[in-house]
Amino acid sequence: MVRDVLFSTFLIQVKVGCIMNNIGVFETRQGNKYIFDGATNMVLSASEELAHTIESHDKLDRELIYEKADLPLRQLMKKWDLFKLHEVELSQDMILDELRTYPYPQMILGLTENCNLRCKYCIFSGNYEEMRTHTFKRMEKETALKSVQKYIDYIEEWRAYAPDKQPVISFYGGEPLLRFDLIQEVVAYVKQTGFKTMFSMTTNGTLLTDRIIEFLVTHNVMISVSLDGSKEMHDKNRVFVNEQGTFDVVYGNIRKLLAEIKRQGKEQILPMMILSCYENETDMVAMNDFFVREKHLLKSMGGRLSKILDTELGESGAVHESMSVLLDEYLQEISTPNNEEQVSELFFKERLFGSSLKVSHNRNINPYGRNYSSILGNACIPGSRMFVDVDGTFHMCEKISYQFPIGNCEEGLDINAISRIVEKWSEKFTAQCKECPYQSICGLCYASCASGDNFDIQGICTTRRKDIERQLSILYSTLEQNPDAMRDFSAHKDSIDRKYDSFRFVMDKC
């Protein structure tokens, strides 16, 4: 019934591209020019004259480009119809299809708004406008189980469109281990339904007792622990309520967790993730040194690095000079063949630089013009991820304010609410981005653009566009030096990714 009314009143027409503006120009460190065709996402070598012509005209003029192009580019223009205006219509059917077929639907249960830490950069610290703060509110068992049942129902229904879905139920807070009781209830409930899912949890790592660790590993809960590097780095921001640093406790618990994973013989199927935050002032070389030193202890880790949003804690702008030292090292390392030992020391730098290079390198090439995902800047479709707050309201993400609800545990997803969010986003996106060549690789995110109950894309655009052109320049500078650099890099990434394929095993065993 829900599907029948889905997006029934919702249709967005988006005209993509205004021409010369739909082509990007960037230069490598070696001084060579390239153009980025926003219609197909192809990168093409360009002469100085052609690059200059493109840069100095507002509107696309294919005849002018053809005139200035060399023979190979002319042939490519004919073959692939490059630099063409494509119209894409974002219809309710396309959006619904995306929601049904999305392979990694996730429900994130915000079990409590409380936390036993007071990290200085915490998004719930009160330093971030519009975000909630720590409270004593907790999720009731009934709310958690109703939400999970809704999720199970959706996944079962959507499997008809994408049988290979890999569902994930995640535990989040505040600090989710303050509600270990509820975690146990949810796991028991899901198992009793027979529903196959992966479980995951993001924790500050301070409350991991032996009993809790044994339970989590036994039930294949993939655990992400926050660790910001060495004791000095970590304790600068990650502190208990009494301001004491947490490094010693967290580090000790990570060791216990890894020992239990080993004891249960799950090293190959249950990776632990480390989440690390850094500031503009962070010495990234020192951070890298810490993780390389600890690689034997943390060898099963994957992880994510996040730059702390600027608050009064840090000034925007300048990045620590160690960042460019590390980048130069990294580019050198991926440009030369690596042995296993060297590869194992690269993981931190890959988390730091590799992900964005990978996005640029592995971008979708659309030889027949844009698909619809590019016209949302690759933002997800709300509902593919459901964050449930303590009251049972569904939100589109755990990192966004409560201004964008998309349903609740009683009624399920509110399709009209989802439609309104996508419509608002699309309006802003069309206004700001319709002539930008980088729509498909911009990686825009609702959470980073949220402003009140609407979005401000303009605010992040200038730095974003510069970042993209810098990434493309770095990527192609590296490829000019070693055309195989990204192949080696991709092969290495594959070996890391293979580790995460083990999630499927985890799911089968649940």
Q: Which residues, including other chains, have CB under 8 Å from residue 345's CB and lie 6 or more apart?
A: 292, 295
Binding test (CB under 6 A) with ligand SF4, winner from 456, 465, 480, 499: 465
Answer yes or no: are the C-beta atoms of 381 and 95 closer than 8 Å.
yes
- Find the part of the chain contacting ligand SF4 (CB under 6 A) among 25-33, 112-120, 264-272, 286-294: 112-120
3 state SS of 455:
strand
b (16+ CB within 10 A) / e for 137-148: ebbeeebbbbbb
**115 touches ligand SF4 by CB under 6 A:** yes
Q: Shortest gap between Cβ of 422 and ligand SF4 (angstroms)?
A: 16
Q: At its nearest, how many Å lie between ligand SF4 and the CB of residue 502? A: 27
Nearest Cα neighbor of 298 from 324, 325, 331, 259 is 259
Per CB under 6 A, does 260 bind ligand SF4? Answer: no
Binding mask 395-434 for ligand SF4 (x = CB under 6 A): -------------------------------------xx-
Binding mask of the shown chain, residues 146 to 185, with x at each position contacting ligand SF4 by CB under 6 A: ---------------------------xxx----------
Q: How far apart are CA 491 and CA 417, in angstroms?
A: 42
- In whole angstroms, the minimum distance from the beta carbon of 22 to ligand SF4 comes to 10
Q: Which amino acid is at 249?
A: V
What's the closest the beta carbon of residue 38 comes to ligand SF4, in angstroms?
9
How many Å apart are CA 328 and CA 338, to the nearest integer? 16
Per-residue contact flags (x/-) with ligand SF4 for residues 25 to 64, judged by CB under 6 A: ----------------------------------------
**Inter-residue contact 222 to 201 (CB < 8 Å):** yes
| Rg of the chain over all Cα atoms, to the nearest angstrom | 24
The footprint of ligand SF4 on residues 443-462 (CB under 6 A) is: 444, 457, 461
Q: Identify the sign of the CA torsion 450, 454, 459, 463.
A: positive
**Stretch touching ligand SF4 by CB under 6 A, among 19-27, 178-186, 463-471, 487-495:** 463-471
**Contact call for residue 108 and ligand SF4 (CB under 6 A):** no
Residues numbered 189 to 208 that lie near ligand SF4 (CB under 6 A) are 204
213 is a contact residue toward ligand SF4 (CB under 6 A): no
Nearest 5 degrees, angle CA 271-CA 272-CA 278?
135
List the beta bridge partners of residue 199: 169, 221
Question: Residue from 43, 46, 117, 270 that binds ligand SF4 (CB under 6 A)?
Answer: 117
CA atoms within 13 A on the CB side of 197: 29
353 DSSP 8-state letter: I
Residue 23 binding ligand SF4, by CB under 6 A? no
Instruction: Identify the residue whose tokens are 């409930």.
Output: 189
CA 488 – CA 477 distance, rounded (Å): 16
The yes or no reply on residue 17 touching ligand SF4 (CB under 6 A) is no
Token readout for 233 is 């780095």
Q: Is 439 in the site for ligand SF4 (CB under 6 A)?
A: yes
Contact residues: ligand SF4, CB under 6 A:
115, 117-119, 122, 124, 173-175, 204, 377, 432-433, 436, 438-439, 442, 444, 457, 461, 464-465, 468
